[in-house]
Structure 1
Amino acid sequence: MRSVEDRDGLQGIRERVRLRKPQRVTLHGWSFRQLGGFIDYKAARAGVAVIHVDPSYTSQQCSQCGHVDRRNRPGQATFSCTSCGFAEHADVNAARNIAARGETGWAVSHAA
């Protein structure tokens, strides 16, 4: 299965795009905090709720049993739980963990 970067032809784009040094500094220095601020601003204008989740250990946590271990990631694209044996593409597993944290955050923020 090819990654999104491979399908969209973005693999190695930083190396392929020729920019002057000031442009490279601007492009590569763009922070995720600033991106988050843009998303918050646009979502507020559109009336869409944004839930921020802590991404810590989402790539090492099993989305089935919740077990966290560095050994759960034997390779870049591979996830295999050392506790329950669940196996999944690493990005899919991490996305499931982030989605679950988002659902929990939503429930907590909208509790009666």
Structure 2
Amino acid sequence: MIRIRSGLAVPAVLALVVRADLRPSTAASSDAVHLRTNAAFAPCLAPALEAFTRSTGVPVVVTVAEPDPPEDADVVVGDDAEMTRLLEGGVADLSSARASGWPRAATARWR
């Protein structure tokens, strides 16, 4: 089950990019991946997040809001302009950025 922290009742976001220190094989089921995305991407990514949680046992907590600022997110998903702003501003870790066409994802630098 995906828990969404938002006033919007919209399902949520990405499954394949997780924070660098959290691997499905070693993650305790109490750990959660905190993901932040905007309302446009959330419904599209919900099936992937559900599959991720089913296969790993790691829950995903989704915040539906503007990606900037990422706040407590481990993973941020957004369009090119949103992600460029985070990456160039030094908020996200450039080495973690993944461009799969559209949308892009990155992990937060402080995680």
Q: TM-score range by the shorter chain?
A: under 0.3
Return the TM-score normalized by structure 2. 0.26
Higher alpha-carbon Rg: 1
Return the TM-score normalized by structure 1. 0.25
More relative contact order, 1 or 2 (CA 8 Å, 6+ apart): 2
Higher helix share: 1
Higher strand share: 2
